[in-house]
Structure 1
Amino acid sequence: MHFLGGLDESWLELGVGTGRLLDACLSTNAPSAYIGVEKDLSLIGQCQPAFVRNLLHADVLIPEVLAKVLGDKVFTRSVGNPPYGCMALPDAALRRIDALCPGLYLVNGWGNLDLYFVLESLARLRRPGQAGFIVSAAVAADVKLAAFRKNLIDVASEVLCYELPIDTFGNKAEVQSYMLIAKFGRTKRRCVVKVGRLAGQDFDVAEERSIHPEVGAARLDLGYHKFADLTASLQAKSGSFTMRELGASIIRGSRTHHQFLDLEVPHFHTSDFPPGGGNVEFDHIDTCSFQLACGGDILVPRVGTRCLDRHALVATGSRPYTEAVYRVRVPSRYVDRIASWIGSDVGTEWRVAAAKGACAKHLTVSALMQMPVLGS
């Protein structure tokens, strides 16, 4: 955790797990104390033997238990790589969230686990102090968690949010996650807010920009701000029209790839997109049972992080296509214009940036309908 400096600081980590973050902190810092909390005894047993005595057995989601093991201790550094996901929280945990972050939007008592851990950690942070957490995309971008981002920016001196490499948790799990860093001074001043992106095994800062605190409260993900800038610049250009304004219709395919295979029906799937884009030719398959891609239709991926930059124009014939693909059908006079734009560098950049999702990225119909199209 090289983003948090200082010697002889006291550190807190809620949800130590197997101790990977603990090891990283100890390798780059010299803490006066490092207190970790973990509810799974089998995981505690996997941590460094020398530090097992500094690990406390408790369930972070039970406020009274956590208060009992930590007492009134406060720390100058707080870190964590808490569990992700949403779950129905106990009533005591819901009351605790409301006390720590008033105005947070919760649906039927469900809350984000990583946010709960972050709130509990920040509640035990001394001023001045620093905190760093690996969090889900929801903490950085979900509109329902805007109250947390606003509250954090209101009390912190500096808030940094960096997108982590998508393979941070291993090549088999592509997850969009963020490093959230908050620094607090002795006295409050206007918060400095920066968003960025980390790259490489050493998590070097590859991109970074400062944003206004009010903008940061809305979103702390760099991709969103870059996408907003790109869209605004395209919309400002002469001759820019949205797909909707050009009369496009966008329809998702009828069946999954495996369903078509089981039915032994020839079909077009994301794996069939030409790597560099271009035309595809089909035999004539005339059936009213499925959505068909026909001559003049433009095909783009709906889902798939590795293929969202691809596209195809149907030159001849017709064929069913899977639910992972969109068929874009436009008036004939706009086919060449839109196909060329969708496959252009800027058009491709826009489509990839418009995709949503923390794991498998996907494009929505509403987003594609608002895509600015240039050219004539």
Structure 2
Amino acid sequence: PIFIPREAGIDRLDYGFHSQKFARGSDHCKPLSFFDVSVIRGSLSSREVREAVIPVFHTTDFPMNSGTSIVDLPIVNGGLVDRFAHAIQGDILIARVGRNLEEKVCYVREGMVPVSDCIFILRIIDTELRKVVFEYLVSNEGKRWLGACSRGIGARYITRSDLLNMNIKL
């Protein structure tokens, strides 16, 4: 059993979610929202991704079972990309929807492409913080946290506020 504040139960009454927060602890932790970060939702629908004449990063493009979570993306002409939410070098991409979204996290080593609306772009200027956040998200603990904070039965999803409430151990 775990005990949570009443307000936390009103927001979400989910044992898996609260037990993960409890396990992470609060010593030297701050929520991601405490830091200077941007969480950007991709802008192209699945239909627009299929019809696009330029490369677009979608949930099917995450590296799976490759042993690495680092991607090199093509560089799409800046004029074409600027109209859409897009990933750039140094961004962390996180699947926003899907059955196994906790497995779909990657770091953009190079490139610049538009991103589908099934993905969050996590843009962190501080390189040290970016490294800490990325290593946490691809760790077993981070995957468990993403799985625990996701909602839904079939096609699970996470919200922007879920990401911003993620505790980062300093």
Provide TM-score, normalisation by structure 1: 0.39
Q: Is the 8 A contact 2:102 2:146 kept in 1?
A: yes
Q: Does 1:280 align with 2:71?
A: yes
Matching of residues 90-101 of structure 1 within 5 Å = none
Q: Is the 8 A contact 1:244 1:370 kept in 2?
A: yes
Q: CA–CA distance in 2 between the matches of 1:294 and 1:356? A: 28
Residue 211 of structure 1 and its aligned partner are, at CA, apart by 7.4
Residue 341 of structure 1 and its aligned partner are, at CA, apart by 0.9
- 2:107 pairs with one of 288, 313, 338: 313
Instruction: Indicate the RMSD between aligned Cα atoms, in angstroms.
Output: 2.3
Larger Rg: 1
Q: Higher helix fraction: Structure 1 or Structure 2?
A: 2
Q: Does 1:227 align with 2:17?
A: yes
Specify the alignment match of 2:119 in structure 1: 325
User: Residue type matched to 1:320 in 2?
Assistant: P
Q: CA–CA distance in 2 between the matches of 1:336 and 1:232? A: 23
Q: Percent identity?
A: 24
Q: Which moved more, 1:334-343 or 1:274-283?
A: 274-283
Instruction: Find the residue that maps to 2:103 and give its secondary structure.
Output: coil
Q: Does 1:263 align with 2:40?
A: no
Residue 306 of structure 1 and its aligned partner are, at CA, apart by 2.4
User: Residue type matched to 2:70 in 1?
Assistant: N
Q: Is the 8 A contact 1:251 1:326 kept in 2?
A: yes
Q: Does 1:239 align with 2:33?
A: no
5+ long unaligned stretches in structure 2: none
Q: CA–CA distance in 1 between the matches of 2:104 and 2:84? A: 23
Q: Is the 8 A contact 2:98 2:156 kept in 1?
A: yes
Greater relative CO (CA pairs within 8 A, separation 6+): 2
User: Residue type matched to 1:228 in 2?
Assistant: H
Instruction: Find the residue that maps to 2:33 and give its secondary structure.
Output: coil
Instruction: Find the residue that maps to 1:280 and give its secondary structure.
Output: strand
Once superposed, which parts of structure 1, at least 4 consecutive aligned residues long, lie more than 3 Å away?
none
Q: Does 1:367 align with 2:162?
A: yes
Q: CA–CA distance in 1 between the matches of 2:112 and 2:31? A: 27
Instruction: Find the residue that maps to 2:34 and give its secondary structure.
Output: coil
Q: Is the 8 A contact 1:302 1:308 kept in 2?
A: no
Q: Is the 8 A contact 1:242 1:369 kept in 2?
A: yes
Q: Is the 8 A contact 1:309 1:349 kept in 2?
A: no
5+ long unaligned stretches in structure 1: 1-209
Q: CA–CA distance in 2 between the matches of 1:314 and 1:326? A: 13
Q: CA–CA distance in 1 between the matches of 2:22 and 2:100? A: 26
- Count of aligned pairs: 159
Q: CA–CA distance in 2 between the matches of 1:292 and 1:317? A: 10
